[in-house]
């Protein structure tokens, strides 16, 4: 039995879903959505707030501000409510309505930027708004998930060790790339582990995190319109890029088997199963993918037929055979010398 007094004290760490019967590949999804924030962002939020409290930058009179496409905003809203902080989340039009309403229900203020920076997209516009807030009010404390080392440290201390305890013979780990906090924390941990683990980053097509041309991205969560300051590519063995249509297809395939996951999880699942199919992974391979979120906040987007048809056409609504998810993915492999590993 668990008895808690603050919401951030609970997080289910040992739940994995075997999706072999869904995709025909030997993959386990580490479910990070079973906490009161509903996503893996609870870990980063808790560590960043705790770090700011320890160094004295966050006090009772402070106003927490952060740029977020949704999930981190919910996590910070929850923690701010439990600790008595005022919190302002700056987001954009891609943020799901349910997510905005959830933040407001928790007592947070939500500002939705309407435009895009010429080179930075929605993210650039959000960050500029936050900078102006901090310049106008010295009570504002910007945690900056994009450059805060507490972001990756949260996963170095929690996510990665838990995976290691559960799977001491882990062969490959798939991690979605947004701010790259989860990716960098896990990759740093497994770099010094007792056996080599292949780290595969999963990014969205249109994201410039690992280079490449920018493009339209409508599903919040993964992908960046700038290079993530936290990213160190020397820790990454390969990058898999996933079309949003394939992420939607993976979400819907999982839902037809009773698992309602979010867009970020669909992206990671699609990338991971495509990689496994391409590499003809044997059934004895131990492969884990981090599933960041659940699907309730995507009911009016990823799981809404009209929204999908308007943006992506009929194709994502089809029911592919296992393994088809990887057919249209664009991959970029990073060659690593033994020394780099």
Per-residue confidence band for 95, with pLDDT thresholds at 50, 70 and 90: confident
Per-residue confidence band for 327, with pLDDT thresholds at 50, 70 and 90: very low
**Domain 41-142, CATH class in plain words:** alpha beta
Q: Would the CATH topology of 7-34+149-332 be identical to that of 41-142? A: yes
Task: Give SS3 for 129.
Answer: helix
pLDDT value at residue 98: 87
Decide if 252 contacts 221 (C-beta within 8 A): no
Decide if 230 contacts 177 (C-beta within 8 A): no
Among positive and negative, which fits the CA dihedral 117, 121, 125, 128? Answer: negative
In angstroms, the CA 37 to CA 177 distance is 20
Query: Of the ranges 17-21, 69-73, 265-269, which one carries the lowest mean pLDDT score?
Result: 69-73
Phi-psi region of 298 (alpha: psi -120 to 50; beta: other; left: phi over 0): alpha
What are the structural domain ranges in the chain? 7-34+149-332, 41-142
pLDDT value at residue 221: 81
Q: What's 48's DSSP letter?
A: H
Percent of the chain residues topping a pLDDT of 90: 80
In angstroms, the CA 123 to CA 103 distance is 19
283, exposed or middle or buried, with CB in 10 Å at 0-12, 13-18, 19+?
exposed
CATH code for the domain defined by 7-34+149-332:
3.40.50.1100
- Condensed to tens digits (0 to 9), the pLDDT of residues 48-65 reads 999 999 999 999 999 999
pTM: 0.91
In angstroms, the CA 290 to CA 282 distance is 20
The pairing of strands 28-31 and 287-291 is parallel
Tokens read off for 5? 């007094």
In angstroms, the CA 173 to CA 329 distance is 18
- Condensed to tens digits (0 to 9), the pLDDT of residues 178-234 reads 999 999 999 999 999 999 999 999 999 999 999 989 999 998 889 998 999 999 999
pLDDT at 151 over 70: yes
DSSP result, 57-110:
S--TT-EEEEE-SSHHHHHHHHHHHHHT-EEEEEEETTS-HHHHHHHHHTT-EE
What is the number of other CB atoms lying within 10 angstroms of the CB of residue 315? 15
Whole-number average pLDDT of the chain: 90
In terms of Cα–Cα distance, which of 152, 196, 192, 191 is closest to 170? 196
């Amino acid at each position: 039995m668990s008895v808690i007094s603050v919401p951030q004290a609970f997080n289910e760490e040992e739940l994995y879903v075997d999706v072999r019967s869904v995709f025909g590949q030997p993959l386990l999804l580490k479910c990070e959505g079973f906490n009161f924030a509903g996503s893996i962002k609870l870990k980063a939020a808790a560590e960043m707030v705790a770090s700011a409290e320890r160094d004295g930058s966050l006090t009772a009179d402070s106003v927490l501000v952060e740029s977020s496409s949704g999930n981190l905003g919910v996590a910070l809203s929850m923690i701010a409510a439990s600790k008595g902080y005022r919190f302002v989340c700056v987001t954009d039009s891609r943020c799901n309505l349910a997510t905005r309403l959830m933040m407001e229900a928790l007592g947070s203020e939500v500002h939705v930027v309407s435009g895009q920076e010429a080179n930075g997209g929605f993210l650039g516009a959000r960050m500029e708004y936050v900078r102006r807030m901090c310049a106008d009010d010295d009570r504002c404390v910007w945690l900056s998930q994009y450059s805060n080392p507490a972001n990756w440290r949260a996963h170095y201390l929690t996510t990665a060790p838990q995976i290691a305890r559960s799977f001491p013979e882990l062969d490959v780990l798939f991690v979605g790339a947004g701010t790259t906090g989860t990716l960098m924390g896990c990759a740093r941990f497994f770099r010094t582990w007792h056996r080599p683990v292949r780290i595969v980053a999963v990014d969205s097509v249109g994201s410039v995190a690992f280079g490449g041309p920018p493009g339209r991205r409508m599903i919040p969560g993964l992908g960046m319109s700038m290079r993530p300051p936290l990213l160190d590519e020397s820790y990454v063995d390969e990058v898999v890029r996933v079309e949003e249509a394939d992420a939607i297809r993976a979400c819907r395939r999982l839902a037809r088997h009773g698992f309602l996951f979010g867009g970020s999880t669909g992206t990671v699942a699609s990338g991971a199963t495509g990689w496994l199919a391409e590499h003809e992974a044997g059934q004895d391979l131990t492969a884990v993918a981090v599933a960041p979120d659940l699907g309730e906040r995507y009911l009016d987007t990823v799981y809404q037929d009209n929204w999908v048809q308007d943006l992506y056409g009929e194709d994502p609504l089809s029911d592919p055979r296992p393994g088809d998810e990887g057919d249209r993915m664009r991959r970029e492999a990073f060659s690593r010398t033994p020394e780099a590993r």
